[in-house]
Amino acid sequence: MPVRWSAIKVSEAMDAVERQINLADAFFAEAKEKAEAAAGITKLPVYMTDRIRRLVAEIGRIDQVRGAINDVRKSIPEGAIEAERERTKGGSQQEMEM
């Protein structure tokens, strides 16, 4: 059964989201490194160390974003992209918004 929405547009959108996440990787890595260094500040009270370690863990959750992107991709019915490409091979008759 064909989907009524554009599987190609969803796939392209996830590609764009993933590209943006990839651009942010270096910034997240640097932020994590700086937060880890802050956790090592001499004579830092435990309550501050705990909060900084929580921050480090939150920064590390960028991998969950990648997982969510993959979940969206896996939710596109198998063969839907190919079927849509085949249907629109001669040019799309309707403009689809992203």
**Residue ranges making up the domain that contains 46:** 7-79
Q: Report the C-alpha gap between 68 and 26 in whole angstroms.
A: 20
Residue 92: inside a domain: no
CA 34 to centroid of chain Cα atoms: 23
Amino acid at 94: Q
Q: What is the pLDDT of residues 21-74, one digit of tens each?
A: 999 999 999 999 999 999 999 999 999 999 999 999 999 998 899 999 999 999
Residue 84: inside a domain: no
Residue 90: inside a domain: no
| pLDDT attached to residue 76 | 96
Residue 87: inside a domain: no
Residue 92 phi, psi (nearest 5) = -75, 135
Residue 54: inside a domain: yes
Residue 63: inside a domain: yes
Q: Report the C-alpha gap between 15 and 29 in whole angstroms.
A: 21
Residue 2: inside a domain: no
Domains held by the chain: number: 1
